[in-house]
Structure 1
Amino acid sequence: MKILLVSVNASYMHTNLAIRDLKNYADSHFASRGGVLLSADTECSIKPQIEIAEYTINQPIGEVLRGIAASNSDWILFSTYIWNAEYVCKLLPEIKKVLPNCILGSGGPEFGYGAKKYLTNISDLDFIIFGEGELTFADMIEKSCGVPQNLLAKLSDIKGIYYRSNDGEIVFSGNRELIEDLNEIPFPYPEIAEGKADPDHKIYYYESSRGCPFGCSYCLSSVDKRVRFKSLERTCDEIQIFLDNNIKLVKFVDRTYNLDENHYIGIWEYIAKHHNGKTMFHFEIEAEYLSENALTFLQNVPAGVMQFEMGVQSANKKTLEAINRSTNIEELAEKIKKIPRTIHQHLDLIAGLPYEDLESFGHSYDFVMELRPDALQLGFLKVLNGTKMEQFAKDNGWKWMESPAYETFSTPYMNFNDIAFLKDVEIATDAYWNKKSFSYTMNYIFRMMRPWKFISAFVEYARTVNAFLQARRESYWFEILYSFIQLEKNNLNCEALDKNLVYDLLRYDFVRAGKKGNFPSWYKHNYDKDRHRKLLDENGLLGNSRIGFAMTEYEEFDYNVLSEKPEDEKQHTQLLIKYDII
């Protein structure tokens, strides 16, 4: 019996944890029993051949179909999420045209919580696994007893399955119990130890716990409140595998990582003690619940070891209460401020939440920017099947996309134009803040005025020149920001903002980004070749003058652009800017 577990990922760099857990758990489960499976009717001996296949949503359907067909599998199961559901829905009806006798199934949060819809709409889909899949998947193999077509007759006996009855009705077989001991699930990436990993270009997802005790109304994780942990010893052993093989990025998918202090600090202590100087570990945490012991420990974590993703979602307490999140934003802010800057900080806001109009969202934006995150992710409420938010949205006038990714179109507090405006705010925030190309310019501007006031005024201007309707290279963002700042009527109304200083900072951000072959019309290059040569000599870079000039630039400014507060240091500054030569 040959089984293929398929994932269609968002990009090449992603790895799918779910299909690996299913395969590795089943392989381990049956290996421990010598391949002998006991059914209700007879004893049968099988060794199921389970393989995984990963593709991306950027590949042509035909290319993926050829790969699946070449496997000649008896069962084919898909892992589904909101980012790949549309692709999988197009692919599924084609598979039985080339493998007419195969059995098609799926699992994952998207098909699992939308099982009736997908089984109704896709006639070739035979079943859907709901919830955790390891036990259900192993039970499916065991009940079929090595005969692929036996499965369809046994679906009613397998917990955790949606399927069609003989009269076409969609039936749920009942909830499956959860795995109590996560140590039963093998390490998901045996290929790493076998030297088959791609350490520099793949993100490796990892879990040390399952479940979430919180009840955020928009989140599917709130459905499973029973938190289970992998042992600390086992987790550290598996972390060492990543470290030994120089994996560049490991993302913990624990829904709230910092729940048990002994567990989460224990993991951090191990990472800090054994770090290889390369691997970055990503954690999704609730900063408000960081203990004082955790904050004390973090003060000594060097750069390049950890990054935190922290969901703020809103600074409106009425909004937070409505979505069942803590309203203690003051403590949240204080805890975030105590996290050292050696740890990359990624903060989230969600647009489209209850009681949040544009004005309220602007205050939330300012609240987050006051914390100066390394990145601000502006997301949009997704009304997911199976969440409390789904019913709330239906009852209270939300409008959202009926197909994945279920993004909100309008609320009683924001119309579609407001949401569209925030989409452009998202683009501008990513360009001017998250990418770090404008760090000196934006840090000054955001010190002098409300970040929301600036970014919203900029977006209004950028829309008048169709900035968001065309391909946007980094050089374009410099040009349009220069035009906006110099505009007499730019709606900023901020006397504290020194346009000349902004221009100097913009020039410095532009020139520090890399050696320029030529300079755009907005840029005034204050160049002195003799002074450039002298500074090269002073820095010991004149041994080979051609290379010295190629790896540096000389520029003059009216302000000390390197000062933390250049507005206080108006002085003529001459800089030798050095570039990395690859």
Structure 2
Amino acid sequence: MKILLVSVNASYMHTNIAVRDLKNYADKYFENIGEKPLIELAEFTINQPVGQVLRGIASYGADWIQFSTYIWNAEYVTKLLPEIKKVLPDCILGAGGPEFAYGAEKYLSSISDLDFVVFGEGELTFCDMIEKSGGEAKNLLPRLKDIQGLYYRNAQNAVEFSGNRKLIENLDDIPFPYPEILTGEADADHKIYYYESSRGCPFSCAYCLSSVEKRVRFKSLERTCSEIQIFLDHDINLVKFVDRTYNLDEDRYIGIWKYILAHHNGKTMFHFEIEAEYLSQKALSFLQNVPAGVMQFEMGVQSANKKTLAAINRSTNTEELSSKIKGIPRTIHQHLDLIAGLPYEDLESFGRSFDFVMDLRPDALQLGFLKILGGTVMEKYASEHGWKWMESPVYETFSTPYLSFDDIAFLKDIETVTDAYWNKGTFERTMSYVFRFTSPWAFFCSLVEYGRKVNAFSQARKESYWFELISSFIIEEKCQLLEKALDKKLIYDLLRYDFVRAGKKGNFPAWYTHNYSKENHRKLLDENGLLENSRIGFSITEYEEFDYDVSAEKPEERKGHRSLLIRYK
């Protein structure tokens, strides 16, 4: 019997830890009893044509095919499943993961070729299924009712559930998920490797499926550190902890950080999802010693409206949250999350939440839109209180009693300009100056209104376009929000500086005035020891002249002709 575990990822850079855990756990389990089954993994992306993925799956000739599903791949998998049995008519088809698990009845009722859905943790259920199949996939279907943790169809074609299965108590029993790293087959520089050191979440956020399993189980500190060392030894570029809330046990989570800091290889970045409000003073003190390039934090603010936070079962202590985030050193890359579409939050309230987050100056503000997930408290609340949302994945909110569909569309454009002008970091000098005179929310709202007039959001845009848009908005339209700014020429200088810093230019657009002197360029190359090979020196640098010291913290205080040599990597 050949079993194929399939993941369809959002992009090439993602890895799927779920299918690896199933395979590795089963390999270990059956190796101990001397009957190791043939289990293979296949990873694809939602960007590949369905026909290409179908050919890839068919090439394995598997008897049993099982998919890992999430909201981002559910539509793709739903299209793919009926095609598989056309080319592999005798195989059995199953799925697991949060999307199909919490929508099992819907998917089993609508996809006749789907034979079963795994609910909850899959490792023990997967092993039980293999045992009860007796090594023959065709024997499995009549025995599904005897295997806990499954949705299946009974003899009358009605969907039934076999009952909840017990959880794995000791997470150390789960093998390291990436044997390909150990064998040197990993793509260390281009893939994100997800890592799990705990399961469960003690919080009760109304919109989140993680709150369903409140009991938290941990891998031991010793085991976690030994696996971290594997990532370090093999120079993996980015490791993302998928623990729903990393900072729960102070001794443990600081212990992991201490190990990373003591053994860091100068390359690997570790990503953690943090509840910042619950960071201890001991943790904040430790973080002061973390250099750049070691850790990045994702922290969910979601809203600054206390009534909203109470409605979704989150802490309302925004003062404590703000204080803790400000206590995290800037050497740690910080992503802060907001969710649009929550209870009691209209555009005015959301604007205050937006400025609350931007006042903390995150490296990125991730603006998400409420997804009404089946099985969450929010699903019932939204149904009873007038929310409208997409009926198919990704279940995103269309409107609420507080936000119209047009309001949501406006926030989509706010998301676009936030990403372009803040999250990418390309406009860092310009935005830092602009936001000293106006709130980020007010500025981006005005920019969106202007952008809509000039059809800025009708298609995907290159980085150069966003420079052109903001240049015309600030300089030509004379943005009223910036009337208090000391000198529009300074903003123009900062904009030119951001543009030229962003990368070597083959030519300069119409809005940009390039103040260039080849003689002065050569002189600065000489002063910086880059003239030995003048061709290379010129190719990796740019020369520009400004009316202000654009690199100063307060450039308005340092007016005067400045010649700068910008060096590119």
Q: TM-score, normalised by structure 2?
A: 0.98
SS in 2 for 1:332: helix
Question: In the alignment, which residue of structure 2 is the partner of 1:118?
Answer: 107
Q: How does 1:52-63 map to 2 (within 5 A)?
A: 52-63=41-52
**Contact 2:437 2:482 (C-alpha < 8 Å) held by counterparts:** no
**Contact 1:355 1:413 (C-alpha < 8 Å) held by counterparts:** yes
Structure 1 range deviating more: 527-536 or 151-160: 527-536
Distance in structure 1 (CA, Å) of the matches to 2:60 and 2:543 = 59
What displacement does 1:446 show? 1.1
What displacement does 1:406 show? 0.3
**Deviations 1:532-552 (CA, angstroms, capped at 9, x unpaired):** 222222222222333222222
**Contact 2:5 2:39 (C-alpha < 8 Å) held by counterparts:** yes
Q: How does 1:475-494 map to 2 (within 5 A)?
A: 475-488=464-477, 490-492=479-481, 494=483
Question: In the alignment, which residue of structure 2 is the partner of 1:23?
Answer: 23
What displacement does 1:153 show? 1.0
Distance in structure 2 (CA, Å) of the matches to 1:542 and 1:27 = 60
Distance in structure 2 (CA, Å) of the matches to 1:501 and 1:133 = 59
**Contact 1:81 1:108 (C-alpha < 8 Å) held by counterparts:** yes
SS in 2 for 1:575: strand
Question: In the alignment, which residue of structure 2 is the partner of 1:4?
Answer: 4
SS in 2 for 1:13: coil
Q: How does 1:251-290 map to 2 (within 5 A)?
A: 251-290=240-279
Question: In the alignment, which residue of structure 2 is the partner of 1:392?
Answer: 381
Question: In the alignment, which residue of structure 2 is the partner of 1:522?
Answer: 511
Q: How does 1:31-430 map to 2 (within 5 A)?
A: 31-35=31-35, 47-430=36-419
Distance in structure 1 (CA, Å) of the matches to 2:127 and 2:481 = 62
Structure 1 range deviating more: 529-538 or 170-179: 529-538
- Taking a change above 3 Å as real, the CA distance of residues 412 and 71 of structure 1, as seen in their structure-2 partners, is same
Structure 1 range deviating more: 142-151 or 266-275: 142-151
Amino acid at match of 1:31: E
Distance in structure 1 (CA, Å) of the matches to 2:567 and 2:7 = 44
Distance in structure 2 (CA, Å) of the matches to 1:242 and 1:507 = 40
Report the RMSD for the aligned CA atoms in angstroms: 1.1
Distance in structure 2 (CA, Å) of the matches to 1:130 and 1:455 = 43
**Deviations 1:2-42 (CA, angstroms, capped at 9, x unpaired):** 1110000001110000000011111111111222xxxxxxx
Distance in structure 2 (CA, Å) of the matches to 1:493 and 1:531 = 34
Distance in structure 2 (CA, Å) of the matches to 1:60 and 1:382 = 26
Q: TM-score, normalised by structure 1?
A: 0.96
What displacement does 1:493 show? 5.9
Distance in structure 2 (CA, Å) of the matches to 1:83 and 1:541 = 49
Distance in structure 2 (CA, Å) of the matches to 1:525 and 1:420 = 37
**Deviations 1:107-128 (CA, angstroms, capped at 9, x unpaired):** 0000000001000100000010
- Taking a change above 3 Å as real, the CA distance of residues 437 and 189 of structure 1, as seen in their structure-2 partners, is same
Q: How does 1:565-580 map to 2 (within 5 A)?
A: 565-580=554-569
Distance in structure 2 (CA, Å) of the matches to 1:536 and 1:101 = 70
Question: In the alignment, which residue of structure 2 is the partner of 1:503?
Answer: 492
**Contact 2:438 2:482 (C-alpha < 8 Å) held by counterparts:** no
Q: Unmatched 5+ residue regions in structure 1?
A: 36-46
Distance in structure 2 (CA, Å) of the matches to 1:493 and 1:480 = 16
**Contact 1:445 1:497 (C-alpha < 8 Å) held by counterparts:** no
What displacement does 1:497 show? 5.7
Structure 1 range deviating more: 496-505 or 307-316: 496-505
SS in 2 for 1:377: strand
Distance in structure 2 (CA, Å) of the matches to 1:560 and 1:464 = 34
**Contact 2:434 2:482 (C-alpha < 8 Å) held by counterparts:** no
- Taking a change above 3 Å as real, the CA distance of residues 98 and 450 of structure 1, as seen in their structure-2 partners, is same
Percent identity among equivalent residues? 76
**Contact 1:24 1:188 (C-alpha < 8 Å) held by counterparts:** yes
Distance in structure 1 (CA, Å) of the matches to 2:378 and 2:71 = 16
Distance in structure 2 (CA, Å) of the matches to 1:305 and 1:18 = 25
What displacement does 1:515 show? 2.0
Distance in structure 2 (CA, Å) of the matches to 1:331 and 1:140 = 48
Question: In the alignment, which residue of structure 2 is the partner of 1:13?
Answer: 13
What displacement does 1:489 show? 5.7
**Contact 1:82 1:404 (C-alpha < 8 Å) held by counterparts:** yes
**Contact 1:457 1:491 (C-alpha < 8 Å) held by counterparts:** no
**Contact 1:555 1:575 (C-alpha < 8 Å) held by counterparts:** yes
**Deviations 1:289-322 (CA, angstroms, capped at 9, x unpaired):** 0111111111111111110000000010000000
What displacement does 1:103 show? 0.6
